[in-house]
Structure 1
Amino acid sequence: MKINVKVIVAFRELYGKIVTFITIDSNTILEASAIEERLYFFFDEIIMSEEGL
């Protein structure tokens, strides 16, 4: 497996500056409210990860 060094560096530079990472596939189409609706779950401090299908 080849690891993209640029991606690793980018994540390290963002460490401590952001709270949430949102990752999607290149062929993903989102509804206008999709991200807002999924972030709702993070208001519970117990939740560390959430997946939307």
Structure 2
Amino acid sequence: IEIAEIDGEHQFEVLSTNGDTFLGGEDFDLTLIDYLADEFKEQNGVDQ
């Protein structure tokens, strides 16, 4: 979660952040790719 202040000049200032900094990003992408690859293999009988 991030709370930011945005002015009329396309600038913003982060006022506060909170949460798990390791949740999402590359870890999420890799987990999603692994899941989708497993589902594809199962549905199509492919294992390469």
Structure 1 length as normaliser, TM-score? 0.27
- Using structure 2 for the length normalisation, give the TM-score: 0.29
Structure of larger gyration radius:
2
Quick one: higher RCO (CA 8 Å, sep 6+), 1 or 2?
2
- Structure with a larger share of its residues in strand: 2
